[in-house]
Amino acid sequence: MSEGLTVPRDYESLRELILRQRQKLPKRIAQVAAYSLDNPDEIAFGTAASIAAASGVQPSTLIRFAHHLGYDGFTSLQTVFRERLRERTSSYDERLNALRSSGAGSRNRRIAEGFVGASIRSLETMLHKLGEEELDRAVARLAKAETIYIVARRRAYPVATYLAYAFGKLRIRYLLVDSSAGLDPEILNFATDKDAAIVVSFSPYAPATLAHATALAELGVDVIAITDSAFSPLAQSASQWFEIAEADHAGFRSLAATMAVAITLAVAVAEARRGDG
C-alpha cells in the first residue's frame, strides 16, 4: 500500500479499497480478495488454514494479502471482518431496537426518515457509478433478444417480478424463471444465443441464481447481471454487469437503486425496440 494512505478500519472502506485495486492485484492475492468479499463471515471466524484451503491458496498468501492492503498481519485484517459481522448480523430484534434510538419526531417518522435517507444514498451512489456506455450496451443486447430470461431469488426476487410486470405491459417477450414444479433447468434449455437474460443476486448469493446464470452463459445467452461486487460470482457469467451496493438503515436494506436500474432497462429496451421498428 502506498505511503500516506490510511489503512481501512471499517469493512466498507476496506471493500472500496479492494475494488479500486482489483485490476492491479497479483493473481493469488486477487483470488483471496474475491473470496473475502464473497465470504466475509468465513474470513471473520475462520482460521488461516481453513480460509486458505477454502480460497485455494497457501496460508502465506493471506499474510501477503493483508500486507498489500497496509495491515501488519492477517489478524489485523480479520478484525475488520469481525467488526463488520457484529454490525451486520445483529438479530432482527436488535435491528428493531436500533430503530428506537433517540431522535426528533415520532418513532415511525424516524423509521421512515431512515429508510428514505438510505434509499437516497443508494440512488446517488448508483447514478454516480452508472456509466453511459455500459448502460447503452446492456440496452442494445436486451433490445435485440428474442426472449429475455429473468432470474432472481431471495432478497432480489421482487426485482424479477417487477421486471416481468414491466416487460408484460411493454409487450416485450420474457420468461420469468420461477417454476414451482422445479423445472427451471429444463426451462433454461429452451434458451439460445438469440436470447438475453437479466440476472440479479446479492451477497450471500443464491446458489440457484448462480447456477442458472452459468447455464445461460454456456448456452451463448447474453447475461446482464445486477450484483453488488466486482468479485461477485455473477460477474464471471455475465456479458455485462452493474454493481449496486444498497445502503442500509439499522441493518435493513431496500432495493431502491436496484429497482431504478431495472425499470430503466425495461423502458429503455422498449424505446430501443420502437425505434428499430
| Across 121-130, 147-156, 246-255, least confident range | 246-255
274 falls in which pLDDT band (50, 70, 90)? confident
Within a domain: residue 117?
A: no
Predicted pLDDT of residue 96: 53
pLDDT tens digits for range 71-84:
999 989 988 988 87
| 128's grid cell | 454516480
Predicted pLDDT of residue 94: 59
Residue 93 has pLDDT above 90, yes or no: no
The residues pairing with 249 across neighbouring beta strands, listed in sequence order, are 252
Torsion angle in degrees (nearest 10) through CA of 263, 209, 13, 63: -160
Q: Which residue has 440496452 as its cell numbers?
A: 139
Tell me, what DSSP letter sits at residue 239? S
Residue 110: which of 126, 99, 120, 121 has the closest Cα?
99
Top pLDDT among 173 and 109 is at: 173
146 falls in which pLDDT band (50, 70, 90)? very high
Q: Which residue type is seen at 33?
A: A
97 falls in which pLDDT band (50, 70, 90)? low
CA 58 to chain CA centroid, nearest Å? 28
Could you tell me the CATH number of the domain that includes residue 184? 3.40.50.10490
- Taking the C-alpha atoms of residue 26 and residue 65, their distance in angstroms, rounded to an integer, is 9
85 falls in which pLDDT band (50, 70, 90)? low
Q: End of a domain among 44, 62, 88?
A: 88
The residues pairing with 192 across neighbouring beta strands, listed in sequence order, are none
141 falls in which pLDDT band (50, 70, 90)? very high
Predicted pLDDT of residue 137: 94
If one counts the domains in the chain, the total is 2
Q: End of a domain among 88, 107, 138?
A: 88
DSSP strand pairing (240-243 vs 248-249): unpaired
Same domain, 162 and 229: yes
pLDDT tens digits for range 8-38:
888 888 888 888 888 788 999 998 998 888 7
DSSP strand pairing (196-200 vs 148-152): parallel
H or E segment to which residue 103 belongs? none
| Helix, strand, coil content of the chain in percent (nearest 5) | 60, 10, 30
Handedness of CA 27, 33, 198, 129 (dihedral sign): negative
In this prediction, residues 139-158 reach a mean pLDDT of: 94
CB distance 163 to 266 below 8 Å: yes
Same domain, 41 and 150: no
Same domain, 128 and 75: no
Same domain, 138 and 218: yes
Q: Which residue type is seen at 200?
A: V
CB distance 232 to 244 below 8 Å: no
Residue 223 has pLDDT above 90, yes or no: yes
Same domain, 241 and 148: yes
Residues 6+ apart with CB under 8 A from 253: 118, 155, 246, 247
Predicted pLDDT of residue 104: 58
CA distances from 81 to 14, 44, 51, 244 (A): 9, 5, 13, 21
Predicted pLDDT of residue 2: 45
Predicted pLDDT of residue 4: 46
Predicted pLDDT of residue 3: 45
pLDDT tens digits for range 174-199:
999 987 777 888 889 899 999 999 99
Q: E strands, the chain, where?
A: 148-152, 174-176, 196-200, 222-227, 240-243, 248-249, 252-253
In this prediction, residues 110-120 reach a mean pLDDT of: 85
Mean pLDDT, the chain, whole residue set: 85
Predicted pLDDT of residue 12: 83
H or E segment to which residue 129 belongs? helix 107-129
- Taking the C-alpha atoms of residue 182 and residue 103, their distance in angstroms, rounded to an integer, is 48
pLDDT tens digits for range 236-273:
889 888 988 888 777 778 899 999 999 999 999 999 99
Structural domain boundaries, residue 176: 124-276
Same domain, 179 and 272: yes
Same domain, 168 and 267: yes
pLDDT tens digits for range 36-48:
887 787 888 788 8
- Taking the C-alpha atoms of residue 147 and residue 159, their distance in angstroms, rounded to an integer, is 18
